Structure 1
Amino acid sequence: MKISSGDFRVHEGVAVDLNRWPTITTPVYKSKDQYHVMLAEHIGQLSALQSVLYADNRYAVLFIFQAMDAAGKDGVIKHVMSGINPQGCQVFSFKHPSAEELQHDFLWRTTRSLPERGRIGIFNRSYYEEVLILRVHPEILRGEGLSDEAGAGESIWQGRYRSINDLESHLHRNDTRIVKFFLHLSKEEQRKRFLARIDDPDKNWKFSTADVEERKFWPQYMAAYGHCLSATSTRYAPWYVVPADDKENARIIVSQIILDTLAKLNLRYPAASTDRRDELSEIRAQLDGEQAR
């Protein structure tokens, strides 16, 4: 089965009802062995493209991952990006904001971690938490010390969507390419993964009672994600809704979208100037001369 990135893309201006988006789809692999072969091929291609991205040094690339708990963000990042040179990739996970971060606007802490030209940046959660978890739990806003002018009710979310779109538009104009993934997990599959974490002593550390508490707000989270995806999926910074009930399938889909994104940049190794080629010829002659002596 050939993967078409467009099948998972949220097109600009489309209202998203996540109840209508699948959490599972026909697998792109026919067996576990084929899955491993496909993933290895994607990792090899990604490694080669990342090397050219680094040498080309014209673009920065930012991949953002958002999902409900146990949807597999860590696994996708670990498996898909396993072939990347650590010098050319930066991964940041954003938890609860610190006291210092709360003294700044909601985009400040993540903006400091944006990738440099020639590098891939990965946000495991991001500034989007500020229009997701806070929309489900608006009482958290009281701890951000916002003024009345910052907005209230629905207006604050519209203002934040605008700020996010303005930031991503600015970054695109300045050669940072942004692609955003929502790993779409079903509530039933989350229940199964939570039980697996409880039953496996080696995975107990991944589970907390807070995860179960958040399950009670599942409809509110789906609504918040729907509003967010609808308002912030743009031509220059699209969202992709990836069915995540099948972890392996999600990894193949994500890796293909990443490959498609990098391929569109028409990356190339810098061509040596005439002066540079002459310089290299002289150095080569010196090195050949050492061998002759």
Structure 2
Amino acid sequence: MRPQSVLLPVSLVILAMVFTQTGASFAKMLFPAVGAAGATTLRLTLAALVLLALFRPWRYRLDAAQWRAVLLYGLVMGAMNLFFYAALVTIPLGVAVALEFTGPLAVALAGSRRPLDFIWIVLAVLGLGLLLPLGHFSGPLDPVGVALALCAGACWAGYIVFGQKAGTGGGPHITALGVSIAALLTLPFGIATAGPALLDPAIWPIGLAVALLSSAIPYALDMRALPHIPARLFSILMSAQPALAALSGLLILGETLGPLQSGGIFAIILASLGSTITAMRSKRDDR
């Protein structure tokens, strides 16, 4: 792969993150109607239907090894969404995203080899620390919400690893299969908590928008990018998620940030840009 070729997958990952955090802001509108599990089920089910119609995965044949990779990819995707939305019930979006980032950060640490890589990781961690709005609360964070967000982070790490394996030599039909498996995993939880409310046509427009922004589009972009980008670089790029969540909250929900949080956004963006430049130079040196 030419050094310049890393720009395309990096651009796809960044675009996917923008869609994800925009959709997450809109997803809160579904909570009063169907709850966290219901919103997760609605989001993934509608996304799966859209992807199945577009990419028709039944036209492709997968061997046993590919099916195992796709199954694991879909299961961790579904669990990641269930844990994350459940965490949002008791802790703020910015905190949940920051805690969830421990998964990609673990992947980044495991794959790091050069001293400069650790500088970008430390900078990303510093930015996350500045972004945590702990001073805005009168009491401690809900431990259940924190635990759920950390579980979502563990699933996010699996999403990166299994997504790479499932996407190698595949295409958009892999995303359609993965999201469908994730939707099937979440379906019993959504039915148990929301029941007939999931069939209310009044919430479908918001549900479809969330499905497209938070699932269908970003997962398709991720699947296109993951086979062509190192897992470590993908994980560090994910550090921009809290910054994008904060920006989305400001533009869509009217949430404001203090100087420390603004500094955290700058540190995280710098870490993401630095990791991208380092990866490009590394590929050029190897060549």
Q: TM-score range by the shorter chain?
A: under 0.3
Higher normalized strand content (fraction of residues): 1
Higher normalized helix content (fraction of residues): 2
Q: Specify which structure has the bigger relative contact order, considering alpha-carbon pairs within 8 angstroms and separated by 6 or more residues.
A: 2
TM-score by length of 2: 0.27
